[in-house]
Amino acid sequence: MRLPRHNVEGCSAVSDEVLEAIKKHEAAEAKKAELTLNARKKAEYVSIPEGSDLLQQKERKGMPPSRLAGYVPPSYNRLRTTLLAQEKEHVNRLLQPIKDTWRKKGVSLVSDGWSDRQHRPLINITVASFGGSMFIKAIDASGNTKDAEYVANLFVQTINDLGEANVVQIVTDNASNYKATGLTIEAKYPQVFWTPCVMHNLNLALKRICGDQFDIDGQEVPELAQLSLDEPESCRGSHFKRLRRVKSS
């Protein structure tokens, strides 16, 4: 082939078909080398989920350049194995003083349901105690019916993990499945009480009061629909506004 920078002229005896075949072969070899190099680089990178704040470049006053001289970031495999295990042990050591109070003061299991950005139904369980609050776990309930039996089994597993002697009560919202769950837990563990969430009950009460009509013993009382914690005319607004007023008073 012709190499002008090295004073090498192309051979006139080589046909155009041969030249085209040589070019395709070289292009294929270059593509193969690029894929191999990218695969090696990818093994050293950390994948970041879409929508993460880390993907958004933020300029901060007085911050040094992002590339630190001499700093080699950890590889993906090291982050998800060794460093992750070390960080988990570190967090457990920090939480140990809270766990030490459980035997003396007992704990309350607090649970609620929510959905993440992928719209997966999650059930989170936290512990509230004299020493402080602690997140225990979040369960992905996708493909499961969150009925009383399913939720009760989650509480039974958690109570057994924490030690039934340490659990004083479970706190949930006032939904029918959680009511039935509470009865199941109280029957299985006589020393454990079920307590409905006060704020959830107030939430439902204010929603009922601020409805179009309020029912007492089967009798509709439209006047009660005009009740408000601040302005009578605005009772039909969002009950969250009333809830904020109650919490701040």
Q: What is the pTM of this model?
A: 0.55
pLDDT for 51-89, tens place per residue? 555 555 444 444 445 566 677 777 888 888 899 999 999
Q: Residues of CATH 3.30.420 domain(s) within the chain?
A: 74-187
Which CATH number fits the domain 74-187, given the four candidates 3.40.1360, 3.40.50, 1.10.10, 3.30.420? 3.30.420
Taking each helix axis from N to C end, the angle separating 198-209 and 239-248, rounded to the nearest 10 degrees, works out to 130
pLDDT for 117-172, tens place per residue? 888 889 999 999 988 999 999 999 998 888 999 999 999 999 999 998 999 999 99
Which whole-number Å values give the CA distances from 243 to 55, 192, 200, 247, 249, in the listed order?
36, 29, 10, 6, 10
Check: CB of residue 103 under 8 Å from CB of residue 69: no
Beta-carbon contacts of residue 183 (< 8 Å; ≥ 6 apart): 194
CA-wise closest residue to 189 among 163, 222, 151, 225: 163
